[in-house]
Amino acid sequence: MALQVGDQAPDFTLPDQDENLVQLSLFKGNRVVIYFYPKDDTPGCTKEACNFRDNWNIFQEKNIKVLGISKDSAKSHTKFVDKYKLPFTLLTDLEPCPVAQSYESYGLKKFMGREYMGMMRKTFVIDKSGKIEFVYLKVKADSMANQIIEDLKLE
């Protein structure tokens, strides 16, 4: 059954780009944006990360935490963060990607006639009580942060 608005967000603990463990439930009392993306430093994923970066001041002013999750290593995340000056946290969900699976963001993908298991681009906004406030299944990488800002009426 698909996660829906109003559902309790599945809790998790994952390592960040500095290999520190980050637990979702410790952010209770703050809104949290969780965005799942396929791979560091690829065109679409870079557009998405930079869109969050370019709107960072709005998220920071409203005390909204942003967590990007992919199956890349902490080392890969560090390079990505440094290259694009990303001010938010990237988390590593190694295969079989249990956190992405709990958010239904990992599964069968098709590309150029080839099928494989991979990370799906989905975004979730978690409210201050830990419940899902918004679910984005069709993400526009270059404007996801803008869409969240508009939907949460942050400006």
Residues taking part in catalysis: 45
Burial-class residue 35 by CB neighbours within 10 Å (0-12, 13-18, 19+): buried
Give the residue among 37, 49, 40 at the shortest CA–CA distance from 77.
40
Tell me which residue of 116, 107, 69, 112 sits closest to 88, measured CA to CA. Answer: 69
Question: In DSSP terms, which residues pair with 109 in a beta bridge?
Answer: 116
**CA nearest neighbour of 50 among 155, 134, 144:** 144
Residue 116: C-alpha distances to residues 36, 110, 154 (Å): 17, 7, 38
Residue pair 128/30 in contact (Cβ under 8 Å)? The answer is yes
Element (H, E) at 107: strand 106-111
